[in-house]
Amino acid sequence: MTQEKTEILKVEGVKAYYQMNYFGVKREVRAVDDITVTMRRNEVYGIAGESSSGKTSFIKVLAAAIRPPLRVIEGTVKYEFKNGPIDVAHASPAEIEAVRWKHLSYIMQGSMSVLNPVRRIGKTFQDFAQRPSGLKGEAFEERVINHLARLKLPPDVLKAYPHELSGGMRQRVTIGLATVCHPEFIIADEPTTALDVVVQKEVLSLIRDIQKEMGASVVFVTHDMSVHANVADRVGIIYAGRLVEEGPTRDMFFAPKHPYTAHLVASLPRIGDTQQRPALDGRPPNLADPPQGCRFHPRCPLAVDKCRKEVPPMEVVGPDHRTACWRWKDVEPLVNVSAPAGVMA
């Protein structure tokens, strides 16, 4: 890992809410509530959290992929691309169009449903990537075929319809679709969910390889901590629409500084481990009406009065390591963690 990593993305104080008006009743869901984070060139950043914690909404904001009723209320999402800076939270559709796919690409959740069922894969590649690639006819086709070969896909898949491919192949096709133009920044939403374990591993190493080869940055979301352990350089944990801790993967797993992270890490199964897993009581809070103070306090074993009243600020607790907990000094790993297999350090 080189130290000369320059920043490529700076997210500052971003708030994104779902604002709905359903049968006359107004509802506001604070899916992303004041997140500040920085991402660097040539790194893999993993975002973890439970379902409905707002993690998907957050990376939709990063990907400039939000649609009403989800709206960015506050904050900036600034990229430093090679062709200039852009704040995708406030850019015009035309400006976003200009960086889309060529600089910023997005792998949407669910490989089953993101490909047009009545269009051949080759056509889809043309639709998505021909214009941003700036290539024509055979040159473009050659690029696609070469790229597919790198993903271990035969050129035949271009003639296939999505339903004719297996789940793993489809996922590789969507990765290929997002990376064929060699973007600088790749956003992936649950790229491994719904795949079986063997294929998962394949897809993960693929993402990692492509990222290294192209020197791109990757942000990906998954609730599966073992995937983070395997792929991410840094991990950020989102709870109830807020970033609660972020740090280098190794530190996050060996020395978590937030009780929620400690819990997530502890829930990882390990071979030969018979220790009882401590279960976390309660459910993630309702984002339409989040709890006061630290949002984790109703479920937190360490909660004190202060946690119930005041929102903890992000504190730097180590190199690259930040956490939002009043009692981070008291957080201990819940289980005796030996290095999970394949942690990149």
Helix (H, G, I), strand (E, B) or coil at 204: helix
Contact pick of 18, 101, 253, 328 for other proteins (by CB under 8 A): 101
Cβ proximity to other proteins, 90 vs 159, nearer residue: 159
Contacting range for other proteins; rule: CB under 8 A; set: 12-20, 69-77, 101-109, 270-278? 101-109
Rounded CA-CA distance 119/246 in Å is: 41
Cβ proximity to other proteins, 32 vs 65, nearer residue: 65
Contacting range for other proteins; rule: CB under 8 A; set: 63-71, 202-210, 292-300, 309-317? 63-71
Give the number of other Cβ atoms within 10 Å of residue 288's Cβ: 13
Query: Minimal distance in Å, beta carbon 166 to other proteins?
Result: 14
* CA-closest candidate to residue 17, choices 5, 1, 28: 28
Q: How far apart, in Å, do the first and last CA atoms of the chain sit?
A: 8
Rounded CA-CA distance 190/249 in Å is: 18
* CA-closest candidate to residue 151, choices 109, 203, 113, 101: 203
Tally the C-alpha atoms within 13 A of residue 6's C-alpha that lie toward its C-beta.
7
Helix (H, G, I), strand (E, B) or coil at 342: coil
Sketch the per residue contact string, 160 through 199, with other proteins: x for CB under 8 A, - otherwise: -x-xx-----------------------------------
Is residue 132 near other proteins by the rule CB under 8 A? yes
Contact pick of 19, 84, 127, 154 for other proteins (by CB under 8 A): 127
b/e per residue 208-245 (b: at least 16 CB within 10 A): bebbeeeebbbbbbbbebbbbbbbbbbbbbbbbbbbbb
Rounded CA-CA distance 246/258 in Å is: 10
Cβ proximity to other proteins, 25 vs 279, nearer residue: 25
Contacting range for other proteins; rule: CB under 8 A; set: 48-56, 94-102, 212-220, 265-273? 94-102
Query: Minimal distance in Å, beta carbon 300 to other proteins?
Result: 34
Rounded CA-CA distance 268/266 in Å is: 5
Is residue 25 near other proteins by the rule CB under 8 A? no
When computed from its CA atoms, the radius of gyration of the chain, rounded to whole angstroms, is 21
Contact pick of 31, 62, 86, 108 for other proteins (by CB under 8 A): 108
Is residue 23 near other proteins by the rule CB under 8 A? yes
Contact pick of 114, 151, 244, 324 for other proteins (by CB under 8 A): 114
Cβ proximity to other proteins, 114 vs 265, nearer residue: 114
Q: Which parts of this chain interact with other proteins (CB under 8 A)? A: 23-24, 63-65, 67, 97, 100-101, 105-106, 108-110, 113-119, 123, 127-128, 131-132, 161, 163-164
